[in-house]
Amino acid sequence: MTLRQQLVDLLGQIGPGYMTSSAYDTAWLARLGDISPDLSEPALDWLRANQLPDGSWGAPDLEYHHERLVCTLSAMNALACCGNGHDGERIQRGRDTLDRWMTGFVNDYAGATIGFELLIPTLLDESQALGLLNGNVNNLLYQYAAERTVKLSRLPNSAISRQVTAAFSSELVGTNSLGLLNIDSLQETNGSVAYSPAATAFFARHVRPGDPAALAYLRDRIGFDGAPDITPIDVFEIGWTLWNVLQIGPLDDELRALAAPHLDVLEADWEKGYGVGSCSGCTLIDGDDTALIFEVLTRFGRKVDLDAVRRYETEDYFICFPMEANPSISTNIHVLGALRAAGLDRHHPSVQKVLTFLWESRREGRYWFDKWHSSPYYPTSHATIVLTDYDPEQAERAIRWILDTQRRDGSWGFYVPTAEETAYCLQALMAWKRNNHLMPDNAIERGLHWLAEHSEPPYPMLWIGKSLYCPREVVRGAVLSTLYCAREESIAL
């Protein structure tokens, strides 16, 4: 297919909310045992088939310490309590890797995975009770148990319900602290707990054993090729894909018509004064999805209220969720995009607030990391695109960092070269050049040549949930729109 045909095909496919499988979540389904063997047996088989060569579980393309730790503990615990006698060797291989990690735990560049400080004490307690840990884990356990205590102390009414983000990680309570759950106000209308397969499986195992609505959600959403981290991420998939398509520039009538039904979905899910979340119908909405989708809808000529974006404004920056442990860089970047789409100039107090926050949050004065993505190229490229209009000095520093870190073969990648990161960097460079800024002659061309040869999935898991994941259609949208934009601007491929 031509690039045009592939882009048209993509716009016809987005909406279901595809995400790669998670060893962490799959292990929770494996525990359903006699409650739902139709879910537990395939989950156990998936864990057996997807153990990595070093004995751990998790994303195969990079060793992200936090992610590997929760995935490996979760998988080992599931195999130990619900597997068979043939799983002993697998558990021992996982144990050997854990022993190495426990003696030299390394913090990842972008920080912990979602809910790490809430989940790790429960996983470690269970592993110790099962006799799976050889080394001394007390320091790690005490550190994160203390952090969990502080965070849980801030819960409204001292309980976890679907109104708070801790619901997404509600399996943290284990079997000894079920009293922390507001059981009657935990499930969503689709039967899930915060659209999380892990939290929902825990609910069906230990909270309301055999709950029909929870099991129906799991059966409806799990294929079976492993369980994803959250499902369905339909709003996120549509919003981020359309944002990538908008980077092409003015769209013709056919592309706008293909986008129209997806815009209808986003507009219908928008709650005045609050915005949207990643999943249609989910109680938990957030500042990141709200800001980016405000920009998308506004640029397509749809009318939604800016008050929903402003709801997330605090004294120093914009939040993604209430009670979050640390602010999200990309949320503030996307808020800046929303404010630009709303027509606010750089002197507006909210714009100045975000510009100051971004200036103070830079690494080495040139780039950013964010807690939703393991690569700095994602937030840095998104920031550069909006800063080109609002703060060219910040944008230029980021552009120079992008150029300085291009690999010899033309690609980009913080861990390994990837099509996703290369597409992001090219989006930023082409936007910079489009605004009449100087650009080395061959940086874009070299990147495009590499991207054209490496454009097909599968793509590495770089996005941060409880485990790492890849939203395939979103990444494909970034890749295809970048290549298509280059063609439209007559840049040689």
The secondary structure of residue 180, as a DSSP letter, is G
Domain match, 128 and 248 both = no
Domain match, 139 and 258 both = no
Domain that holds residue 161: 21-228
In this prediction, the residues of the chain whose per-residue pLDDT falls under 70 are 134-138, 490, 492-493
Residue 5 lies in a domain: no
Provide CB contacts within 8 A for 390, sequence distance 6+. 336, 340, 346, 351, 355
Task: Show which of 228, 254, 283 is a domain's final residue.
Answer: 228
CA atoms within 13 A on the CB side of 408: 0
Q: Which two tokens stand for residue 124?
A: 């470690």
Torsion, Cα 181 185 186 190, to 10 degrees, reads 160
- The verdict on pTM exceeding 0.85 is yes
Residue 323 lies in a domain: yes
> Of 34, 29, 22, 2, whose CA–CA distance to 67 is shortest?
22
The H-or-E segment that residue 21 falls in is strand 21-22
Domain match, 188 and 282 both = no
CATH code where residue 36 lies: 1.50.10.160
Domain match, 213 and 241 both = no
Provide CB contacts within 8 A for 487, sequence distance 6+. 3, 493
Q: What is d(CA 159, CA 151) in angstroms, rounded to the nearest whole number? A: 12
In DSSP terms, 418 is beta-bridged to 412
Structural domains of the chain, count: 2
Domain match, 138 and 31 both = yes
- For 238-249, the pLDDT digits (tens) are 999 999 999 999
- For 7-46, the pLDDT digits (tens) are 999 999 999 999 999 999 999 999 999 999 999 999 999 9
Residue 14 lies in a domain: no
Domain match, 125 and 162 both = yes
- For 108-155, the pLDDT digits (tens) are 999 999 999 999 999 998 998 999 886 666 677 777 777 788 888 888
Work out the number of other CB atoms within 10 angstroms of the CB of residue 437. Answer: 14
CATH code where residue 435 lies: 1.50.10.20
